[in-house]
């Protein structure tokens, strides 16, 4: 669990997905220490409850559950604004579950809130060590290294994850937003919102930074050439996955959202398009990135009501006096370099007529991540024969069961879609 606000350019993230490790100690017939501790909080106060937990943490008379203790710590940390008491809960969790990367990660967050930066750094790095991989909010804690290019494996099956029914002759390829460090496959990934999604063939390609996360934390910062190469590797992954599917007699529909739409746009431009349709959601063919010139280090652009750009700090929870503030700013700037590489292109000038005809462009009227689509681009798309769909709402408001059901019916059964939702 992590409450760090990590919103990135168009980019993500939304949310860095944190895995919990449910693990119990003692018999499940015994009462839960967490439930009793919460009762004591209501009856006697937080200090008494924490003291009681400390005394009974190893008692065989109670059930000790890592996930429940973690959740209690977060309630104290944020709901009750008691970071010191929350950190005591997190420390108990570490003592009881010393091999849990999530326990260390949560404790690190508690110490970050207290202002004990060195202990927070140590615990975040311990969490990375135990997990064997880095999570998005932990990138600034990596020991910085010089840039090392992403090398793709020869085995194409290692470039994507598959869910659903491989026997289907129709494959839906979903390129997620980000840039994130892992595939966020779940209830709101787009394909899971389609009807009978368990029976669909759902394909999720990796992206270059997922295979090589240290790219985003490299020092010195990425150059334009290095960023272009990393983007080209993400496009190469997508191209190889689509070719693999077509070689296995699959009819492919490509759907990209946000940064995933950027990868999909470049695929349509630079590779042989083997898909039936390309659906671009939450990104324009001609992005307005003129406001990026005003950014300070560590910042990104948002759009108020989809119209007026303003700057925000990416890692807002990292204070100015944090020992690794420079590292986090560099991570944000590396992400800006990667995302900006494709977004700087004017695809309405680069696409061929057949590219436009294979395209479905879905945009939001109040997109705070990328801004509202320009009237000029809408005119071009209509003239070139693209399908244009307007969503009343923000960046993710096309990711609903209603819209994705209608999109599925349109792609598979040829049922017309409304132009506005």
333 touches 270 (CB < 8 A): no
CA angle 127, 131, 134 (to 5 degrees): 75
**Taking residues 250-266, what's their average pLDDT?**
98
Residues 310 and 248: their CA atoms lie apart, in Å, by 47
Query: In the structure, what pLDDT confidence band is assigned to residue 11 with cuts at 50, 70 and 90?
Result: very low
Q: Which two tokens stand for residue 28?
A: 């499940």
Q: Which two tokens stand for residue 341?
A: 């590489």
Average pLDDT for the chain:
92
> How many residues are given for the chain?
421
- Give the global pTM: 0.89
- Span 131-189, pLDDT tens digits: 999 999 999 999 889 999 999 999 999 999 999 999 999 999 999 999 999 999 999 89
Query: In the structure, what pLDDT confidence band is assigned to residue 44 with cuts at 50, 70 and 90?
Result: confident
Q: Which residue intervals of the chain bear CATH 3.40.50.1820? A: 156-290+333-413
What pLDDT is recorded for position 31?
A: 77
354 versus 34: which is more confidently predicted? 354
With 0-12 CB in 10 A as exposed, 13-18 as middle and 19+ as buried, what is 280? buried
Share of the chain above pLDDT 70, in %: 93
Query: In the structure, what pLDDT confidence band is assigned to residue 28 with cuts at 50, 70 and 90?
Result: low
- Span 117-138, pLDDT tens digits: 999 999 999 999 999 999 999 9
What pLDDT is recorded for position 94?
A: 97
Nearest CA among 278, 286, 283, 311 for reference residue 297: 311
Q: Give me the DSSP letters along 165-180.
A: -TT-SEEEEEE-SSS-
Q: Which two tokens stand for residue 354?
A: 């057949």
Share of the chain above pLDDT 90, in %: 83
DSSP 301: E
What pLDDT is recorded for position 60?
A: 83
DSSP 387: E
What pLDDT is recorded for position 5?
A: 37
Query: In the structure, what pLDDT confidence band is assigned to residue 346 with cuts at 50, 70 and 90?
Result: very high
**Taking residues 353-376, what's their average pLDDT?**
96
- Buried b / exposed e over 92-124, threshold 16 CB at 10 Å, is bbbebbeebbbbbbbbbbbbbbeebbeebbbbb
Whether residue 15 has pLDDT greater than 80 = no
Helices 66-74 and 101-114 cross at an angle (nearest 10°) of: 20
**Taking residues 276-296, what's their average pLDDT?**
96
Residues 333 and 218: their CA atoms lie apart, in Å, by 11
Q: From the CB of residue 385, how many other CB atoms can be counted at a distance below 10 Å?
A: 12
What pLDDT is recorded for position 29?
A: 62
Nearest CA among 306, 325, 339, 401 for reference residue 12: 339
Nearest CA among 277, 302, 242, 238 for reference residue 361: 277
Pairing of strands 201-205, 387-391: unpaired
- Buried b / exposed e over 14-46, threshold 16 CB at 10 Å, is bebbbeeeeeebbeeeeebbbebbeebbeeeeb
Q: Give me the DSSP letters along 224-280.
A: HHHHHHHHHHHHHHHHHHHHHHHHTT-EEEEEEETHHHHHHHHHHHHS---SSEEEE
- Span 221-234, pLDDT tens digits: 999 999 999 999 99
Q: Which residue intervals of the chain bear CATH 1.25.40.10? A: 24-134
What pLDDT is recorded for position 261?
A: 98
**Taking residues 28-51, what's their average pLDDT?**
82
In sign, the C-alpha dihedral spanning 152, 158, 161, 163 is: positive
Residues 181 and 206: their CA atoms lie apart, in Å, by 9
167 versus 6: which is more confidently predicted? 167
- Span 214-223, pLDDT tens digits: 999 999 999 9
- Under CATH, to which class is 24-134 assigned? mainly alpha
Q: Which CATH superfamily includes the segment(s) 156-290+333-413?
A: Alpha/Beta hydrolase fold, catalytic domain (3.40.50.1820)
- Span 192-222, pLDDT tens digits: 999 999 999 999 999 999 999 999 999 999 9
């Amino acid at each position: 669990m992590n409450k760090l606000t990590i919103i990135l350019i168009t980019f993500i993230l939304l949310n860095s997905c944190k895995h919990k490790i449910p693990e119990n100690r003692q018999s499940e017939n015994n009462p839960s220490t967490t439930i009793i501790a919460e009762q004591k909080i209501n009856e006697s106060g937080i200090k008494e409850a924490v003291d009681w937990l400390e005394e009974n943490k190893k008692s065989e008379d109670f059930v000790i559950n890592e996930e429940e203790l973690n959740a209690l710590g977060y309630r104290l940390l944020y709901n009750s604004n008691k970071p010191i008491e929350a950190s005591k809960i997190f420390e108990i969790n570490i003592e009881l579950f010393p091999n849990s990367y999530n326990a260390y990660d949560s404790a690190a967050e508690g110490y970050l809130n207290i202002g004990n930066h060195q202990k927070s750094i140590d615990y975040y790095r311990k969490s990375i060590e135990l997990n064997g991989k880095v999570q998005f909010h932990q990138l600034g804690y990596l020991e910085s290294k010089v840039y090392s290019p992403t090398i793709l494996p020869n085995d194409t099956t290692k470039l994507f994850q598959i869910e659903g029914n491989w026997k289907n002759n129709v494959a839906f390829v979903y390129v997620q937003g980000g840039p994130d460090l892992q595939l966020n496959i779940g209830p709101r990934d787009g394909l899971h919102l389609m009807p009978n999604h368990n029976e669909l063939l759902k394909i999720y390609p990796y992206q270059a930074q997922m295979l090589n996360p240290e790219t985003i934390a490299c020092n010195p910062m990425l150059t334009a050439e290095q960023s272009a190469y990393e983007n080209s590797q993400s496009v190469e992954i997508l191209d190889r996955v689509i070719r693999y599917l077509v070689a296995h007699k699959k009819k492919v529909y490509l759907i990209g959202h946000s940064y995933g739409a950027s990868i999909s746009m470049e695929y349509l431009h630079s590779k042989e398009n083997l898909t039936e349709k390309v659906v671009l959601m939450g990104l324009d063919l001609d992005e307005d990135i003129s406001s990026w010139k005003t950014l300070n280090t560590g910042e990104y652009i948002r759009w108020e009501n989809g119209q007026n750009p303003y700057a925000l700090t990416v890692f807002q929870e990292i204070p100015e006096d944090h020992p690794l503030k420079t590292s986090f700013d560099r991570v944000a700037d590396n992400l800006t370099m990667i995302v900006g590489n494709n977004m700087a292109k004017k695809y309405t000038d680069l696409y061929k007529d057949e590219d436009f005809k294979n395209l479905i462009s879905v945009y939001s009227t109040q997109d705070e991540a990328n801004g509202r689509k320009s009237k000029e681009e809408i005119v071009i798309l209509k003239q070139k024969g693209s399908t244009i769909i307007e969503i009343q709402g923000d960046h993710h408001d096309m990711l609903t069961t209603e819209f994705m059901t209608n999109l599925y019916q349109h792609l598979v059964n040829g049922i017309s879609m409304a132009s506005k939702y």
